[in-house]
Amino acid sequence: MTTYDTRADRAFPDTDTLRAALELACRAPSVHNSQPWSWRLGESTVQLFADWTRHLPATDPDGRDLLVSCGAVLHHALVAFAAFGWRTTVRRLPDATDPDHLATIEFAPGDADQVDLTLAAAILRRRSDRRAYSASAVPPDQLVALTKAAGRAGTVLTVATDPAVRAPLVEAITLADAEQRRNPDYAHEIYVWSGTHTRSPDGVPAANAVTATHYGDLAIRQFATPAIEVADRASGAGALMVLSTSSDDMLSRLRAGEATSAVLLAATAARLSSCPLSQPLEVSTSRELVRDEVIGGAMVPQMVLRVGRPRSRDRALPATGRRMLDDVLTAWPART
């Protein structure tokens, strides 16, 4: 095990706490489970960096998914440290000379409350559940709770319950799916980043991909060699929602990732199934359709989410693989 210099005169977690919290953080969702992040330890800080060597240019041409993924791992880290009794202060984009330096986390001792513990436990249970959901609607009070979770992260969550709002969102998903299917580079990325065994350190395993191409009118992204057979495809789409920000700079995308994590963990804590749907925002024409026809043109869509009540017959999905912590963590040189 790698050890780190954690001086007693600094408010800083010990080695075991650092490793446990960051291992939890790295359970965050990312585009095609690419995990495009790295961590570095300062003398009294934890620093998050984007790893552009894991960028998927055909799927994510403008890097939106990569930054949203990094925002999700940042929020997961804050949740994990809170559960271990550490209050955190975050400086986002702290170095104007290094755009890959996304955040610096500073620490102060604190006390974990029940909310902290519940959300940290949700990290371990959360899955990107691509299966059909129950036909029973998500209760309105739970939708309100998810909307509030997004709001606390500085974003707006639009729930597409109105058919006039849902229809253009479904259309945008269909358009994006068709556009990407025509792109051979995209097909190659899907082949490389899916169909892997559940013990692989990255990518979408076959055991977490579905054979369904649609749930009713909702198109489902296809991955290589899916292993989950879906018999009833007439319904089960669940509730669709769009997470948006007031602008579209790096900070907005990072905060959108934090909000994505907040909504997904809140949904998991409420015993709901969920899955991020970045596909309609990866293609410019479908993204514009979402912006103009779903959220009214004043905000920038950053993520689409599918949330629903799980079907009683469905078992828990296996956890997808993750890279070893030492592959994404660089320690500050120890003092001599």
Residue 212 within a domain:
yes
Confidence of residue 9 (pLDDT cuts 50, 70, 90): very low
Report d(CA 304, CA 175) in Å as an integer. 14
Residue 203 lies in domain: 129-308
**pTM for the full predicted model:** 0.95
Sort strands 300-308 and 273-277 into parallel, antiparallel or unpaired: antiparallel
Average per-residue pLDDT for the chain: 94
Q: Are residues 114 and 158 in the same domain?
A: no
Handedness of CA 297, 302, 304, 309 (dihedral sign): negative
3-state helix, strand, coil in the chain (%, to 5): 40, 20, 40
* Count of CB atoms situated within 10 Å of the CB of 98: 11
Nearest Cα neighbor of 154 from 92, 88, 107 is 92
Residue 165 within a domain:
yes
Mean pLDDT value of segment 226-251: 90
Encoding tokens for residue 9?
């005169």
Name the helix (H) or strand (E) containing 143: helix 140-152
Report d(CA 325, CA 229) in Å as an integer. 33
Nearest Cα neighbor of 268 from 125, 65, 57, 64 is 125
Encoding tokens for residue 159?
């729930």
Q: Are residues 134 and 36 in the same domain?
A: no
Residue 284 within a domain:
yes
Q: Are residues 275 and 147 in the same domain?
A: yes
Number of independent structural domains in the chain: 2
Residue 315 within a domain:
no
The values of phi and psi at residue 153, to 5°, are -90, 10
Question: Taking each helix axis from N to C terminus, what angle separates 250-269 and 140-152, rounded to the nearest 10 degrees?
Answer: 150
Nearest Cα neighbor of 240 from 146, 140, 160 is 160
| Cβ–Cβ < 8 Å for 304, 290 | yes
Q: Are residues 237 and 143 in the same domain?
A: yes
Q: Say if residue 235's pLDDT is above 90.
A: no
What was the pLDDT predicted at 43?
A: 87
Q: Say if residue 330's pLDDT is above 50.
A: yes
Mean pLDDT value of segment 113-122: 97
Q: Of 2-11, 82-91, 100-109, which range is least confident?
A: 2-11
pLDDT tens-digit series, residues 268-319: 999 999 999 999 999 999 999 999 999 999 999 999 999 999 999 899 999 9
Q: Say if residue 183's pLDDT is above 60.
A: yes
Q: What is the 3-state secondary structure (H, E, C) of 49-90?
A: EECHHHCCCCCCCCCHHHHHHHHHHHHHHHHHHHHCCEEEEE
Q: Are residues 141 and 284 in the same domain?
A: yes
Residue 313 within a domain:
no
Q: Hey, what amino acid is at 160? A: A
Exposure string of 19-34, with b = 16+ CB inside 10 Å and e = fewer, is: bbbbebbbbbbbbbbb
Q: Are residues 162 and 280 in the same domain?
A: yes
Residue 290 within a domain:
yes
Residue 94 within a domain:
yes
Q: Are residues 145 and 50 in the same domain?
A: no
Q: Are residues 162 and 254 in the same domain?
A: yes
Q: Of 4-13, 165-174, 286-295, which range is least confident?
A: 4-13
DSSP state of 294: I
Confidence of residue 331 (pLDDT cuts 50, 70, 90): confident
DSSP state of 291: I
| Cβ–Cβ < 8 Å for 276, 28 | no
> Where residue 236 sits, what CATH number does that domain have?
3.40.109.10
Q: Are residues 85 and 167 in the same domain?
A: no
Q: Are residues 139 and 276 in the same domain?
A: yes
Encoding tokens for residue 201?
């350190």
Residue 60 within a domain:
yes
Residue 200, SS3 per DSSP: coil
Q: Are residues 173 and 89 in the same domain?
A: no
Q: Are residues 299 and 153 in the same domain?
A: yes
